[in-house]
Every structure is written in C-alpha cells, then in structure tokens.
Amino acid sequence: MSVDGWNTVLVLGGIRSGKSEFAESLVTDAPVVRYLATAPEGDPEDTEWATRLAAHRARRPGSWTTEETTEDPRRLADVLASAEPNETLLVDDLGGWVTVLLDPAHQPANDVATIDELADAIRTCSARVVLVSPEVGLSLVPTTPLGRAFTDALGAANRAVADACDAVALVVAGQPVWLKPATSTTIPAAPTNATEPASLGSATTPATASSATTLATAGSATTLAAAGSTSGPAARGSLADAEPVPEVKLPDVLTHAPPVVPTQEPGNPWAAPTMALPMVATGLVIQPGMELPMPDEFAGPQAVDRLATLDVPGAGLGVLDRVVGFAAATQGTPTPRAWGSVRVLLLHGDHAGGASAGTVAGESARRAAQARAGKGALARLAAESGASLQVVDTPTAAPMEDQPALSLDQVESALRYGWRLAEQAADAGVQLLVLGACGAGTEAAAAAVLAATAGAEPPAVLGRVITDAGEIDDAAWMIRCAAVRDALHRTHRSSRGAKDILAELGGGDVAVATGVLLGATARRVPVLLDGPVGVAAGMVSRDLAGQARHWCLLADHGGHPSVRLAADVLGLTPLLDLRMDLGEGANALVALPLLRSVLALSVALPVHPSLGGGETDPAADEPQPTGPRHAGPDVAEPDFAEPDFAEPEPDGPGPASTGADEQPASGWRAG
C-alpha cells in the first residue's frame, strides 16, 4: 500500500475530459513509469487518430518507457501480474483494450473470463498502477450492434476494474471527483448489491475466488459452488435454504422415423466429458455470472485451415467453412464428424394481449398437436432428417402491456425446466439440439426482449403480420407495436436483469429456451437456432452465462428483422438466406442435411497430392481420353438400370399414435 492510501487507481472520464492528464499527474513523483499503451495504431490514413496518439506520446517524460499490449488482450493481465513492487505502471486506456478484446481475430473467446483475469491481476499486483478508461454509462445507447457490444463490454470492464482498485476518480471538464476515495490506513471494500445482476463480467469477484466450478454430489442431484459467479455476500450464502422444487415430468420424445446414430469409436469426440447439472439438493440454481464451458478455441481455426489442404476442385466450401469451424470447436477436434443424433425441441406457449394480435385463436395448439402426431411441416422435416421431436408446453404469458408476463417463481421453474430438457437430451446421446417454437405472439415478445437488452426500436424489429390468406394486416402490426411500447413504458424503471426481463417481457417459451441454451452449454451440446424465440433466449442468456452464445449456430434469419438484429449483437452470421416461412425451426431442419454433407465431406476428402496426400484412385495415373465420347468396341455401355434399395430395418419406435388414449403427456407447471 502506498503512503497516501492507494496502490491501484481507476481514472474515468468522457472524451476530452482531461482524464489522461489527471492520471499522468498522479505518477509524476515516480522516478520511472512503465506506460502500457493499449490502443491499436488504426488506419494509416486516419490522420486525426494519429494526431491524438502523437499528442499522448509528446506528453510523456523521457524517463518513461512504453510497452504495447495490442497483440493479445491477455497480455495486459500478464504484465500487471509480473510487475515488481518498486514499479509504477500507467495503463491508457481500457477502451483500446476492449477494442482489441472484441476484435474478430481474437474470437471465439471467453470475454467474461478475460475481464475477470484482468480484475484479479489488478487485485494481486504489487506495483503501483493507474488505469485510464472512458466512461460510457452517461451516453445514449448506440444505434449500431457493434457500438452496443463495445459499450456493454467496456461498462462491464469498468465495473470489474473499479471493484478491484483501491480508489476510483471521475474527471469531468478537467475536474476530478473521487468516487471511491482511499485512506492512508485502510481501503474499504466496495459495497455490493446481491440483487444486482452480473453483466458481461462479474464486478464483485473476490481475489481469492477461483474461476473454476466446484461440483459435489448430493444424493441424485449435484451441488454447484460457482466461485466468482455470484455478486455479493447474499448470493454467496447457503443454498440449503432454497424452497423445495417439485419434480416436473418432461414431455415424451417422439420419433417419427428411426434416427441414424453413428457407431461410437474409442477416442470419439462425442465422449468428451461434460459439465454436470448445477443443482443443490432442493433444486437447480441458475444465477448471473455462471462459469460454463467454452468451445475449443484452437480446434475451430485448425479445422478451417485444414480445409485449404483438401483435394477439392474450385475454391472449396465457401461460407460453409464456418460450419466446419463451429463443429470442430464444439466437438474439440479439427476433424469434426457430422451430427448423427439430433433432437428438435418445439416450444409451445402463447402470449396474451396485444402481442398475439392477428393470430387465430387455438392455431398454435393445433400446430403442436400436429407435431405430436407426426404431421405438419416441422414433424415431417424432422422425420426426413432422422431427428427426434419433443413438443414442450410452456405457460401462457400474461399481457405484457398490463402486467408481468410471468412471476419470478415461474421464471425460475421455466429456466430449470429448460436446463433439464437439455440434460435429458445429452444423457440420451443427442449431438445437436434444434430450437423451434409455435406460440402466438412470439415475435412481439422477442421484440420486447430485444428492446430491453439491445435498445432496439420495436417497430424496427417487428415483422409484418401476414394472415392465413396471405394478406398483410397492418392494423394487427400496429397493435403489436403498441403492446411492446406500453410494456417497455410500464417497466422503464424496472431492473434489466436477465430474470427480470423474462418475467416482465419474455414469457414462458423464451424462459424455457434460455434454460435450454444454458443447459446445453453446460453439457457441451451445440444448438441450432432459427427464429425469434431462440435469438431472444440467446440475448437473455448473455447475462447468465456469456459462454452460451458460442455454442449456438444460426441457420437462417428467415426474413425476421428481430433475428437479424439479435444475430448482429450475438455475433452469429446466418448461414443461408432461404426466406422460408414454415414456422420457427423449419429453416434449420431444411439446412440440416446440407450441414451434415459439408461435415462428412470435410472428413472424407484426402489431402491434395501436391501437399503430400496420397492418390485414392488407382486409375488416376492412367491417361484419360479427351474430347467428346471415345468408346471403343471393347468398352461396354454403362448400365443405368435403377438398383433395388432395400428398406432399412427400423431400430426404434415407429410413428407416434394419434389415438387420444395414447397421446403423450407434455404438461408443464411452475415449481
């Protein structure tokens, strides 16, 4: 601890506020200062930016040394951790560091863990450290997805670093104001709020907390002690006081055609260990800041690089090489296999009030019954793909313009229910989950969630309402917009925590879908998204576990403006642009055979001979005839007779019975 009461200081301020000059004044008494520059050089033609950098360099005394940390966002934490007690470090600034952190060249990566690593390095640093960072909390919400991602990440970093530092100052118009003053005798701990939801990074993780997750078995359940994933003493209290959660029966899994399951082999990546279900003896605990696994950050790039060596004509797989990279990262191998066992989760839950304007009463229930009977577009597409189907009934959401869509207890139960659905699929050997939905009002609910999480304007993300006759219903669209507007006005003073958004705006289907994404992430099962409910769940899941989005793949935006916006925020690029409108989940199932073919091809093709690969065709070295047809007298005409294909023997149950007495139960109730 320094003699004047601080060892680490965070200096916040707006643009041209004088924050850098004030930070430099704090270290003028140091004989030698290590200046850590985090900002990238930028565009060489951007003279204004170059002038700013030159002004910063000109102010530094000749005795200071400058180090660049722009190549790797983790380097800053390494420098702080290795600093000596007699050193003084000036970091300017965290805005440049976040820019490097969000650079696509460093993705996929666990941004939450990287921010936590920086905060831990500051807490344990023995040197004197001054950090400069832009304050973005006073500005308007950016209008672009990239701008919102930057402000979200920088705001989370500022919170984490402010909690780790001994003192925090805010500079406004050149005048510093101490927000967290230090004393010469003791440094008080920052006050924590147990009810404040964690954002991108936990701002209250103690220095002794481990980022790993400790699992302990308790009967048939599992106990999760997620150190560093809570915020405040109340959240770190005993979980044994939780109310008992009654067991809810999961709906039956329907198999309308026998799925094709690949043979398991020793060393198969599908057998990789997964994270156990985080439960206590009284039920599943889902809370902000959970530490869930990330895909393999090395296998994906290795798989894409391997594609360039394959013996293929032309330029290769084009944009579909992203499928290979995603599958490699989620399977943990540079040679990913095609998904064999696939399960479709069709979420059925209506939204009352203006959100469902323009829909026919009872239509969603009819669609769900169709799917259970193996009829309808989604069930038939699932059967064609050899995927099993599970119809999940979720609670009907109340009119969000008048009252919360769900109670907080219902949200908790829905999240646990979705997690259990994902766990059930993982235990059954499912290698890919497909999220679908068929409720009334789902588009409006998703638009409300996007408005609350990303600052979207409801009219910009609400698609046109199309009637069964194929006509555009503008009156219904305006009613939906008004419902979302009134709901946002009603909740404008409410917390924007993940569970609060689900309770006020999201409803049962979005809550269950969020639980599915979290559970699938914990069990390392990738999820194929396709529609408003899935991407809305992806937006909410960021505050509960930022790793979840890296396990998601977006097949198609389906023409939904809400899906386009959420995809930009989540960093998901749609693979296709089919513009089909057969219900949420249908585009994903249409794309599934293509994605499987790409993965199968990437594994089966050999390396090009010029790169050391062997020839697979013995006749490749023989001279081949050129020109039109050169069939000599000894060359037999090819036989184009259609071969006989034997029907495969079914290895599972046949189509589900449509009889009322044999209808599978799929009821859902709040715990």
Q: Annotated active-site positions, please?
A: 584
Q: Are 535 and 562 in contact (CB under 8 A)?
A: yes
Helix (H, G, I), strand (E, B) or coil at 140: coil
**DSSP labels for 408-420?**
HHHHHHHHHHHHH
**DSSP labels for 395-438?**
PPBP-TTTS-SS-HHHHHHHHHHHHHHHHHHHHTT--EEEEEE-
Query: How far is the C-alpha of 426 from the C-alpha of 215, rounded, in Å?
Result: 18
Determine the residue type at 508.
G
H or E segment and range at residue 382: helix 376-384
Environment class of residue 532 by beta-carbon count within 10 Å: exposed (0-12), middle (13-18) or buried (19+)? buried
Q: How far apart are the first and last CA of the chain?
A: 50
Query: How far is the C-alpha of 133 from the C-alpha of 170, rounded, in Å?
Result: 10
Query: How far is the C-alpha of 226 from the C-alpha of 116, rounded, in Å?
Result: 14
Residue of 272, 320, 260 lying closest to 296 (CA atoms): 272
Q: Are 496 and 402 in contact (CB under 8 A)?
A: no
Task: Reduce the secondary structure of 491-536 to three states and give it as a string.
Answer: CCCCCCCHHHHHHHHHCHHHHHHHHHHHHHHHCCCCEEECCHHHHH
Q: Are 512 and 421 in contact (CB under 8 A)?
A: yes
Residue of 68, 420, 83, 376 lying closest to 248 (CA atoms): 420
Q: Are 36 and 133 in contact (CB under 8 A)?
A: no
Q: Are 118 and 98 in contact (CB under 8 A)?
A: no
Residue of 408, 403, 405, 400 lying closest to 499 (CA atoms): 408
Query: How far is the C-alpha of 91 from the C-alpha of 93, rounded, in Å?
Result: 6
Q: Are 339 and 596 in contact (CB under 8 A)?
A: yes
The DSSP letter of residue 73 is T
Determine the residue type at 425.
A
Beta carbons within 10 angstroms of residue 509's beta carbon: 35
Helix (H, G, I), strand (E, B) or coil at 665: coil
Q: How far is CA 2 from CA 5, 60, 126, 160, 624, in A?
A: 6, 23, 10, 22, 82
Find how far residue 601's CA is from the centre of its chain.
27
CA angle, 561 then 562 then 564, to 5°: 65
**DSSP labels for 612-643?**
TPPPS-GGGGS----SS----TTSPPP--PPP
> Tokens 């909390």 appear where?
137
The DSSP letter of residue 560 is -
Helix (H, G, I), strand (E, B) or coil at 105: helix
| Pair type for strands 175-180 and 167-172 | antiparallel
Longest CA–CA span in the chain (Å) reads 103
Compute φ and ψ for 342, nearest 5 degrees.
-125, 140
> Tokens 């869930």 appear where?
292
Helix (H, G, I), strand (E, B) or coil at 348: strand
